[in-house]
Amino acid sequence: MQKSSDLFFVSSNDQKYHEAKKILNSFGIQLGFLKSNLEEIQSDSLNHIARKKARNAFSKHKKPLIIEDDGIFIDSLGGFPGPYSSYVFKTLGNKGILDLLKNKRQAKFISVITYCDDAILESFDGELCGTISKSQKGKGWGFDPIFVPNNSDKSFAETSDKNKISHRYKSLKKFSNWYLHK
Active site residues: 69
Per DSSP, the residues of 110-163 read EEEEEEE-SS-EEEEEEEEEEEE-SS--SS-STTTTTEEETT-SS-GGG-TTHH
CA distances from 106 to 70, 75, 119 (A): 17, 6, 39
Nearest-angstrom CA–CA distance, 24 and 17: 10
Q: Are 130 and 107 in contact (CB under 8 A)?
A: yes
Q: Are 164 and 152 in contact (CB under 8 A)?
A: no
- 182: helix, strand or coil: coil
Q: Which amino acid is at 164?
A: K
